[in-house]
A and B are shown apart, each in its own frame.
Chain A
């Protein structure tokens, strides 16, 4: 069991052992970087084809099926196409910023993977402020999106960039607030400690994952909504809005730079999904004691894939939001509910200290759920009221 579980760690030690001692830290770092880039690069290629396949299936068509068996080599063809396309830099654009933007977007997102625990003993850097580091490094992508939009020197790019930045700033608040109760109850910002806090099982054989508590479930759903918006995915894909602002900040990008943006978008999705798995789904822990024999990285991968499938499903299901709906969802629904969720988490924590009577668990559940559900319904109704009044258009009639 432990052999299979630690196979990658053993492999790393073996590779590092091959080189002289003075080079070992460098080689170890390089091998870890290569491993992360290979695994998630492959994930990226697979996700692009699977997303198109699943979307096709859900829309009652085949999806790509020409290149290779079942269209599986489609990512290779896409990659060759992207690499060989002409790289067009508009004459009036800001050349340097235009060149830098895709890099500034992609590099921090790769760095974010450094703090994620992918399995037992499989964290690249165990930072004390791991969670904070993740959010801090993610905030650099806002600047990159602005750079991309501004460098194009046309109004659609700039409008798209401003939309994207407004959206990212708005949804960063509920994203972080949804993660706060996890930090409060784990008592640490280190992602390893947060996974550790979710180990073990409660009496019924259920795992002690955060998602199986009332506040954890609410925070998980809010986190997923905010994550969808942060990674600019449908139904929050208005920064790209092909039909409205001709792909927004991507308007002036072609060829490999466009591919880098595409890559950055998917990597952002992978990173934030990994974080969701770590914070709420128990990280690499198995769901049942009898399933402990399967390796930890397998469980991480399984939860990760399930969430990615969920994101694809959402993309196939929901239509795009309007700008005002998107912003009011963040500020008038998610942020107040996330703040209430802090209260629910506190009630859950303190009521757990005293075991008064046998059914106290059910009472705790009901009380915490009531704190969230009733205001949630109320807030949701007020959101409905928004569209009841006719919208005032300033520039279009």
Chain B
């Protein structure tokens, strides 16, 4: 398989396997280039912009200058490709928009920049799938997201890399007054290394956010995640939830930090880790920082193994050991993320089912 169209076909098939229905509305960036893009025509008519990032810089210079690289440092000329998604004021886009970032050639270094803007009162759901068709490649991404006053954005991201792939990702999010940002991230790959930093700035009062991370480490993966939330607006609130599952000789390290400066803010960090291999390693660092005398910040963290008595209980109900382990892992992976649209709920559950059965 050598030409791009064959690889695109393979990428679309792989995307469907993890529930990304790109043909219904979405894009595929293969290596350095955007090779496929589709958006419902009625959405275009309603003012939704969905374009390749360089094209966006040329076609929509005002919007680009207003939002691009304001939170993160970067230069669009040093970027291979990326997606610009713009949802105009007051518009609700019910169907998810699927973005696939695919590494299709060995030694390729894919540099991506995505810009997502939700104007005041708008709503949208973005689903990203990042995966590889080959080994020995690198994915590097920057993403900026702006959620306007009263707007709501749900982002679901699934990482499914091969063992010799390195990944570096930085995401920065700004949430306006009464804005709502929901983020569900799942990694079920054996990537050599992932470094993923997320910053959420809740500048608007009464803004809310929730970021769930479900991370599976297998083989010799080294996975590092850092999530920081800044509760700047009064009465803003955030929850950071993570489930870390380390198998084989993998290593998972997470940092979760909430800094509260607004009045009457609320933040909660919940981190649970499960180690399934003698060489597996998990470390988690929750940090709460209050700069306001009425902030309410809490955290809970635990790391453990599957309990013998739970296993024996399920075995006594007729499940052999492997089934019982999968069931317990599946239960462990449940974070209670409730903002999943029905169109992709089944896909996410299917990914989690696969993850609970995987070996490492």
Tell whether A pairs with B: no
Interface residues of A (CB under 8 A from B): none
Hey, which bits of chain B sit against chain A, CB under 8 A? Answer: none
